Amino acid sequence: ERFDLKDKIVLVAGASSGIGAATVERLLAEGARVIAAARRMDRLQALAKDRPGHCLPLQLDVADPDSTSSMVERMPEGWRNIHGAVVCAGHDVGGRARFDQADAETWANIIETNVNGTIRVCRAVIDRMTARGTGHIVTLGSVSGLITYPGGSIYSASKHAVRAFTDGLRKDYGDSDIRVTEILPGLTRTEFAESRWGDGSKAEAFYDKAPGLLEPEDIASAILYAMTAPESVNVSQIVVHPTRV
């Protein structure tokens, strides 16, 4: 039987654009109550507008341990019984460069956000899930977590780490009804490319050159597929490529 998300509380970390924002829309359409978290509050407020009780904007910087550890207590009482967490917060800002051309701050920030940030968000929500014995964590890896390419050593390392962490987490909670899923998207049209280069025209040129491109909604569909599978089914990994590669 399809898992019903109606009235379930789901946190989306990294909800202010791209895959996270598309996932918020799909979850709301399923009747879930969604906590939309990220750093850009103006974006989250626009997303939550006219949806009181259904969508709660929450300030969150996953690279900041205090922001993440205080996350649940900063939620209003009625929003803390979290069923699911979708961790979309991630970036590759300044990372597309040969190893010696990226500075220490850049690579530390990629690891801090993509790896430690994902781990921290999971830590912040897991107690509620273990107390109930049920829940669902979804992380965003990448096809870069399966391969490597020139100029991508740090980002790729971060996504390999997300893959290992997610699979380990699934095994840790294998004696309960807590499900753990990793989504591994291929190239998807979001703000990711623009932030990677800090330049919209470079991102457009990059997308123009790509033989095929996914839309954020395609990845949101994969996330919803995993989250609505029968509770006895753990869809552990979904790899999504554009048809034309």
Q: Which of helix, strand or coil describes residue 183?
A: strand
Sign of CA dihedral 111, 113, 119, 120: positive
Candidates 10-18, 125-133, 197-205, 228-236; binding stretch for ligand NDP (CB under 6 A): 10-18
Candidates 24-32, 36-44, 74-82, 170-178; binding stretch for ligand NDP (CB under 6 A): 36-44
Binding mask 120-149 for ligand NDP (x = CB under 6 A): --------------------x-x-------
Q: Note whether 187 binds ligand NDP by CB under 6 A.
A: yes
How close are the terminal C-alpha atoms of the chain, in Å? Answer: 35
CB-based contact 62:70 (threshold 8 Å):
no
Sign of CA dihedral 223, 225, 231, 237: negative
Residue 149 appears among annotated catalytic residues: no
Nearest residue to 5 via CA among 22, 19, 24: 24
Of 34, 56, 63, 169, which one interacts with ligand NDP (CB under 6 A)?
Answer: 63
Place of tokens 């190893």: 99
Of 149, 155, 207, 225, the catalytic one is: 155
Q: Note whether 19 binds ligand NDP by CB under 6 A.
A: yes
Contact residues toward ligand NDP (CB under 6 A) are: 14-20, 38-40, 43, 60-63, 88-91, 113, 117, 140, 142, 185, 187-188, 190-192, 195
Catalytic machinery residues: 155
